[in-house]
Amino acid sequence: MKRIGCILILFVCFIPFLSAQEHPDALSAYRAGRSFESSGRTDAAYDKFKEASEICLAELQENSRNMESYVVLCWSLFRMGDYQKSLEYSKKALKINPSEYRIIENIGEAYFYLKNYSESLKYFEQYVANLPHGDRISSAYFFIGEIYRIGKKPNHADVAYSYAVYKDPGMALWWYRLGSVREEALNREGAKQAYMRALSLDSSYTAARNALSRLQ
């Protein structure tokens, strides 16, 4: 009898562990989506982002103030290309926690892709001012550079791009963009240096090669 009792106790203790294992994990689904995205498997990535978003929506039905669910939901919707919906849920999240800087940065990106550059800049500036060492700081400065480049302010863009490549020097596109605004500002030597860095990272970067040839 004692042995049966021990087995029953062990089984009862094991049930919560099984439930935890079976509970869907939105963040894991999102990360799987990013992995598929990086390898060019866009359909598989979309399916994972959709899975993550559905998990988050179910979690928010249970707890409408679950900030982690909001964060992964907004990221997932963004990766699915639904920038408007990502923005809408991001704003709901900020009403719960106005200092959630993962959401603030996401809003900056969503507004950027919706081509509302003035609002995008406002949120990116808020992010970099309050989280200068944040995980997305280099990307935030790159987007700030993009906004200034689009707005025909090459010197402002130069500053932003320069900080982006300082924080993350391994992005060929970012060096190319830096070269393009320096060229626009008639800084030929600075532009050549940036284009050469882009080519050193990606030798097949035709636009950078053509730009460098143009300045020789």
Which CATH number does the domain housing residue 41 bear? 1.25.40.10
- For residue 10, tell me if it sits in a domain: no
2 domain-assigned: no
* 83 and 51 within one domain: yes
What's the number of domains the chain is made of?
A: 2
Residue 131 included in any domain: no
Q: Enter the DSSP assignment of 115.
A: T
Indicate whether 18 pLDDT > 50: no
pLDDT at position 6 over 60: no
Note the pLDDT of residue 3: 52
pLDDT class of 108 with cuts at 50, 70, 90:
very high
pLDDT class of 22 with cuts at 50, 70, 90: low
Q: Is the pLDDT of residue 59 over 80?
A: yes
Kindly report which listed range (9-13, 152-156, 163-167) carries the lowest average pLDDT score. 9-13
| 174, 195 Cβ separation under 8 angstroms | no
Q: How far apart are CA 37 and CA 27, in angstroms?
A: 15
Mean pLDDT value across residues 138-143: 98
Rounded to a whole number of angstroms, the distance between the first and last alpha carbons of the chain is: 90
Is the sign of the CA dihedral 113, 184, 167, 34 positive or negative?
positive
Whether residue 98 sits in one domain with residue 154: no
